[in-house]
């Protein structure tokens, strides 16, 4: 609320004998060259309305969900900000205004000065017109790609979330799920239908899709993954993955009534479940396309390569930041047509 007053030195706030520093002096993470992870946003024009500000990544241990997000200002007055900053879903994930419970939602932060935009009569929300909000989100998504990857990568070095002891406890708990008579009976007595019957059933399921089943499509290089959600029988497969009628098109059809999928309780768990379905679909498709032997080992090897892409993206983003390639980041923004 008092950001500009503190920045300009017209206001000093002292709490318990200590002066409160400017919010812009936050504990930012540093890139590989030691420079603060803070990028000034170039001025964007939205039909005569202006957007300026900055985006940054808080250092490990300095963030938290209430510290993440964009504080929105207009005419030096805060419209929305800490602890309920603006967290567009395309950047921060989740299903509510807090974003997903992950490192991006906890550590990606910034300030947006939105001049000329409509404001609610209570002065606590921007009333975006037409495609303004979508366009702003798209620009921010492109600009923060490297920063989001960096935020997701850098954990507090004092926190070993996946130590050997914790993994041992996880495996012990998982073991209870697998070490039961029902699991043994299923492994021993399940009879699979002929492969041709399975493939024919999968193709028929794709043909019977209707527009209400569609939830989204993901373009990946020359491939398009189409994700659908159907409420079929609880006895139908949990997921069906099949190539579409058009070339380089893959359908991932999730059965929302399957006991496994319907028992998932958290948004993050559903996110990871669907993510793994897509990894599996891409792995199987690419192995088949390269005419390699379609075996579990070959599919796992392809999936291993895909699972490493995130790390490669983070390394590339870090190298770009290390080169201080600001112009490349800015010129990479593509305005909506």
Residues 313, 319, 322, 327, Cα dihedral to 10°: -80
Q: Are residues 16 and 141 in the same domain?
A: yes
pLDDT at residue 226, rounded to an integer: 94
Residues 326 and 282 in one domain: no
Phi, psi at 264, each rounded to 5°: -70, 130
Query: Does residue 130 sit in the same domain as residue 70?
Result: yes
Residues 196 and 85 in one domain: no
- Alpha-carbon distance of 19 to 42, in angstroms, equals 31
Cis peptide leading into residue 83 (ω within 30°) = yes
Residue 326 inside a domain? The answer is yes
Specify if 25 maps to a domain: yes
Mean pLDDT of all residues in 63-74: 84
Distance CA 102, CA 275 (A): 15
The pLDDT assigned to 93 comes to 82
Quote the pTM value: 0.56
Sheet holding 249-255, edge to edge: 214-220, 223-230, 249-255, 239-243
Cβ neighbors of 134 (< 8 A, separation 6 or more) are 336
The pLDDT, as a whole number, for residue 113 is 93
- Strand-strand pairing, 18-19 and 14-15: antiparallel
Q: What is the pLDDT of residue 336?
A: 43
Helical spans, DSSP H, in the chain: 3-7, 89-92, 103-107, 132-143, 145-153, 164-178, 181-189, 195-207, 259-262, 267-289, 296-307, 309-322, 326-331
- 19: exposed, middle or buried (C-beta count within 10 Å: 0-12, 13-18, 19+)? exposed
Query: Is residue 181 included in any domain, yes or no?
Result: no
Write down the mean pLDDT value for the chain: 82
Q: Identify the pLDDT of residue 249.
A: 92
**Residue 146 corresponds to which tokens in the numbers above?**
């490297």
pLDDT in tens, 252-303: 999 999 999 999 888 888 888 999 999 999 999 988 888 767 788 999 999 9
Residues 96 and 226 grouped into a single domain:
no
What is the token pair recorded at 59?
Answer: 């250092």
Q: Are residues 137 and 220 in the same domain?
A: no
Q: Which domain holds residue 84?
A: 3-157+322-331
Looking at residues 105-120, what average pLDDT do you find?
90
Distance CA 332, CA 141 (A): 11
User: What CATH number should be reported for the domain holding residue 121?
Assistant: 3.30.230
Q: For residues 13 and 11, what is the distance between their CA atoms, to the nearest angstrom?
A: 7
- Say if residue 74 is in the same domain as residue 139: yes
Note the pLDDT of residue 4.
65
Angstrom distance (rounded) from CA 298 to CA 288 = 10
- Could you give the CA distance from residue 289 to residue 208 in angstroms, rounded to a whole number? 25
Q: 41 versus 311: which is more confidently predicted?
A: 41
User: What would the two tokens of residue 58 be?
Assistant: 């808080």
Are 97 and 65 a contacting pair, CB within 8 Å? no
Structure tokens at 141: 């998504």
The pLDDT assigned to 16 comes to 81
| pLDDT, tens digit (0-9, with 9 covering 90-100), for 291-324 | 767 788 999 999 999 988 877 766 666 556 555 4
Whether 310 is covered by a domain: the verdict is: no
Question: Are residue 130 and residue 210 in the same domain, yes or no?
Answer: no
Mean pLDDT of 63-88: 85
With beta carbons less than 8 A apart as the criterion, state whether 277 and 252 touch: yes
For residue 239, give the nearest of 248, 224, 229, 247 by alpha carbon.
229
Residues 196 and 234 in one domain: yes
Determine the Cα–Cα distance for residues 228 and 239; give it in Å rounded to an integer. 10
Confidence of residue 238 (pLDDT cuts 50, 70, 90): very high
CA 46 centroid distance within chain? 26
What is the distance between the alpha carbons of residues 274 and 252, in angstroms, rounded to a whole number? 9
Q: Is the pLDDT of residue 237 over 70?
A: yes
What pLDDT sits at residue 335? 47
Does the residue 195 lie in any domain? yes
79 in any annotated domain: yes
Q: What is the DSSP letter of 194?
A: P
Instruction: Kindly state the average pLDDT of the residues 174-193.
Output: 89
Answer yes or no: is 127 within a domain: yes
Question: Is the CB of residue 133 less than 8 Å from the CB of residue 89?
Answer: no
Same domain, 144 and 205: no
* Confidence at residue 265, expressed as pLDDT on a 0 to 100 scale: 84
In this prediction, residues 132-143 reach a mean pLDDT of 90
127 and 201: one domain?
Answer: no
| Residue 285 and residue 326 in one domain | no
**In the chain, how many domains are there?**
2
As a whole number of angstroms, the distance between CA 282 and CA 278 comes to 6
Q: Is residue 183 part of a domain?
A: no
């Amino acid at each position: 609320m008092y950001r500009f007053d503190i920045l300009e030195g017209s206001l000093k706030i002292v709490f318990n004998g200590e002066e409160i520093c400017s919010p812009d002096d936050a504990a930012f993470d540093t890139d590989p060259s030691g420079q603060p992870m803070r990028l000034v946003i170039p001025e964007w024009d939205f039909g005569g309305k202006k957007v300026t500000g900055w985006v940054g990544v808080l250092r490990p241990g300095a963030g938290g969900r209430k510290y993440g997000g964009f504080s929105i200002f207009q005419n030096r007055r805060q419209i929305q900000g800490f602890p309920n900053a603006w967290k567009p879903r395309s950047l921060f994930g989740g299903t509510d205004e807090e974003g997903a419970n992950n490192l991006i939602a906890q550590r990606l932060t910034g300030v947006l000065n939105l001049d000329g935009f409509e404001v609610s009569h209570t002065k606590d929300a921007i009333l975006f017109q037409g495609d303004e909000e979508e366009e702003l989100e798209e620009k921010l998504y492109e600009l923060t790609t490297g920063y989001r990857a960096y935020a997701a990568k850098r954990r507090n070095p004092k926190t070993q979330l996946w130590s050997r002891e914790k993994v041992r406890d996880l495996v012990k708990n998982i073991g209870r799920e697998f070490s039961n008579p029902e699991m043994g009976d299923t492994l021993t007595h399940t009879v699979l239908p002929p492969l041709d019957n399975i493939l024919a059933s999968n193709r028929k399921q794709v043909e019977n899709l209707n527009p209400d089943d569609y939830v989204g499509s993901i373009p990946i290089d020359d491939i398009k993954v189409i994700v659908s959600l159907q409420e079929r029988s609880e006895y139908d497969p949990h997921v069906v993955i099949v190539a579409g009628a058009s070339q380089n098109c893959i359908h991932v059809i999730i059965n929302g009534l399957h006991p496994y999928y319907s028992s998932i309780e958290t948004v993050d768990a559903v996110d990871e479940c669907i993510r793994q379905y897509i990894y599996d679909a891409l792995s199987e498709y690419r192995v088949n396309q390269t005419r390699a032997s379609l075996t579990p080992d070959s599919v796992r090897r392809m999936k291993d390569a895909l699972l490493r892409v995130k790390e490669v993206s983070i390394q590339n983003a870090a190298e770009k930041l290390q080169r201080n390639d600001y112009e490349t980041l800015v010129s990479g923004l593509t305005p909506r047509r």
